Amino acid sequence: MASTQYADFAQYKEQRAALISSDRALRPDHSTAVSAAEAKADKFVRELRAAEAISVWATEHEGVPHPFPGMEFLTGRSIILKTKLFNVLSKMPKGGLLHAHLDATVNAEFVLKIALEQPALHVRAPAPLSALTLSTILPQFSALPRDMFPDSGTALTDASYSPGTWVSLKNARASFDPALGGSEGFDKWVIGAMTINPSEAYQTHNTVNKIWEKFTSTFAVGNGLIRFAPVWRQYIYEFFRASVEDGVSYVEVRVNFYPKYMFGEDGQENIPHRDWLEIFDATLGEFKAELKSQGREDEFIGARIIYSTLRFIDLEELAWYCEDCITLKQEFPHLIAGFDLVGPENVLKPLIYYAEGLLRFRARQKEAGVDIPFILHAGETLGDGTEADVNLYDAILLGTLRIGHGFSLVKHPKLMETCRERGILIEVCPISNEILRLTSSMLMHPLPILINNGLPVALCSDDPAMFGNMGLTFDFYQVLVASEVSGLIALRELARASLEHSTLEPAEKARAISAWGKRWERFVEAIADL
């Protein structure tokens, strides 16, 4: 072979450099403009990463048998928090968050705290709680109308507790058996049911399908508290606040409209979708006004909603949701960004089942004079040729604007090419994928394949409330420490892509990118002092 003959070793080294360069040519951080300050900051970050790989990750940590950079997040989280690199990244302007489920975005402790302030909120259990049953019995929450408030305050932990009896949230907490930890025991029980812990993810539920069962149950529990208008309002505000605190300046969040109503302050389940959007819009307005009053309006461009329903509905129901979505888009054109069907792809209906209905939806949009792009989950699976994997073909044929997860996309050469050519961004959720057992650690994640093939990618947190990866800093951290190729410039391009591939209108988008760019420059200048 001609190309394996060299005049001398110098020529070998030249060709080697050329080969490495051509192999990386499709990366967004390859042959891109890098300022002197960025080059310096990149060097700082690479040196810090290398130093902490030894000073932090190669030392012993109690209860963590095998620490390494990019390790299982739930086990490694406390170690990550000890690193200076995490602190540096927490200050980084991250661009937009393009893939998160609203019901899963706010810290469970915060949700419980604000829920406890609501007299209408109640809790019940299918059996009295005891030391034996505490870890398997899940709480059920609901708002109740005043005339249904229970008279007495039987404790859930009382042997005489009558299964299914509602207890006010406050009373349930106050009366929780001291032998089971009292009020703190109550909090632990509730938070445990709303989050995933390391022993669930890595031991008892250590397969994709098993951890999804636990994951699904966290939504069922949390929704009882969140889908109550007074809580929802505060919840949304906190989501925005925490996002901005982490350097996220725009969110495009999936809201699950499967339930047709949420509970109102009066404890009736009668708040329709349009009112949800009104609350969302008003809260967004308040939050932006608050930031503006502090001179911080460039820190948050806004928020939009990807209308979502669940991938188990039938075709008749799909048609209802599509019409509902069009109606909402007509009233709130600035809020509705796209449409998706969500839920565990490995067990729910494939996209092909909905395809004809979804094409009809596009035709109906034209008639209605609106444009609601598909932004579909697809390929969130380990399957090879399974329905979940095959969803990628349908997502692309349906014209999806981006792909949610696309974990199995790397198996598909033609689809990789199509995504690159059409600029279909992949919403990659590193920590979510790992906790949901698609990858064992960040080191096995296919992200470098996407980046090296020139596909646009944004990093997303997916369900930070359940996973504990609040904000985007943890996801950026995991990605950065699992590679020797990616440095600060790669992170810059990931952040920039999240804004470029948002559904913002051209003028808003330009403003968002420009505001982010200015903050990026300040971040880079200050990096050594963070």
Residue ranges that bind a second copy, judged by CB under 8 A: 1, 4, 6, 9, 12, 15-16, 19-20, 22-23, 25-26, 65-66, 68, 204, 206-207, 210, 352, 355-356, 359, 382-386, 389-390, 393-394, 396-399, 410-415, 422, 438-441, 443-444, 446, 448-449, 452-453, 482-486
Which H or E element spans position 72?
none
Q: How far is the CB of 90 from a second copy (least distance, A)?
A: 23
Query: CB of residue 131 vs a second copy: minimum separation in angstroms?
Result: 24
Least separation, in Å, of the C-beta of 443 and a second copy?
4
**Smaller CB separation from a second copy, 15 or 35:** 15
How many angstroms separate the CA atoms of 408 and 391, rounded?
A: 10
Q: Min. distance of Cβ 8 from a second copy in angstroms? A: 9
The residue (of 196 and 398) whose beta carbon lies closer to a second copy is 398
Compute the least distance from the CB of residue 352 to a second copy, in Å.
8
Q: Which is nearer to a second copy, 185 or 446 (CB)?
A: 446
Nearest approach, Cβ of 413 to a second copy (angstroms)? 5
CB of 145 to a second copy, least distance (A): 44
* Amino acid type, 308: S
User: What is the smallest separation between the CB atom of 331 and a second copy, expressed in angstroms?
Assistant: 27
Distance CA(426)–CA(345), nearest Å, equals: 17
Query: Which is closer to a second copy, CB of 135 or CB of 440?
Result: 440
Q: Closer CB to a second copy, residue 146 or residue 414?
A: 414
Query: Which of residues 16 and 260 has its CB atom nearest to a second copy in the complex?
Result: 16
CB of 114 within 8 A of CB of 231?
yes
Q: Tokens in use for 152?
A: 């007495």
Q: Which is nearer to a second copy, 148 or 485 (CB)?
A: 485
- Nearer residue to a second copy within complex by CB, 472 or 480: 480
CA angle in degrees (0–180, nearest 5) for 432-512-401: 55
Q: Give CA–CA dist 351/423, Å, rounded.
A: 21
24 or 170: CB nearest a second copy:
24
Q: How far is the CB of 165 from a second copy (least distance, A)?
A: 35
Query: What stretch of H or E contains 272?
Result: strand 269-272
Min dist. Cβ of residue 220 to a second copy (A): 23
Which helix (H) or strand (E) covers residue 89, if one does?
A: helix 84-90
| Token pair belonging to 354 | 């909905």
Nearer to a second copy, 63 or 385 (CB): 385
For 103, the 3-state DSSP assignment is helix
- State the nearest-atom distance from the C-beta of 465 to a second copy, in Å: 26
Cβ atoms 218, 196 nearer than 8 A: yes
Rounded CA-CA distance 325/335 in Å is 11
What 3-state DSSP class applies to 428?
A: strand
Query: Please, are residues 300 and 244 in contact by the beta-carbon 8 Å criterion?
Result: yes
Torsion sign (Cα): 217, 221, 224, 229: negative
Side chain identity at residue 422, one-letter code: R
Of 36 and 363, which has the nearer Cβ to a second copy? 363
For 309, the enclosing helix (H) or strand (E) is strand 302-310
Task: Give the SS3 label for residue 101.
Answer: strand
Q: In what order do the strands lie in the sheet with 457-459?
A: 376-378, 402-405, 425-428, 457-459
Q: Distance (Å, rounded) from C-alpha 504 to C-alpha 303?
A: 9
Length of the chain equals 530
Q: What is the DSSP string of 108-176?
A: HHHHHHHHTT-TTEEEE-SS---TTTTTTPPPEEEE--GGG--SS---TTSTTPPTT--EEHHHHHHTS
User: Is the alpha carbon torsion for 30, 36, 41, 43 positive or negative?
Assistant: positive
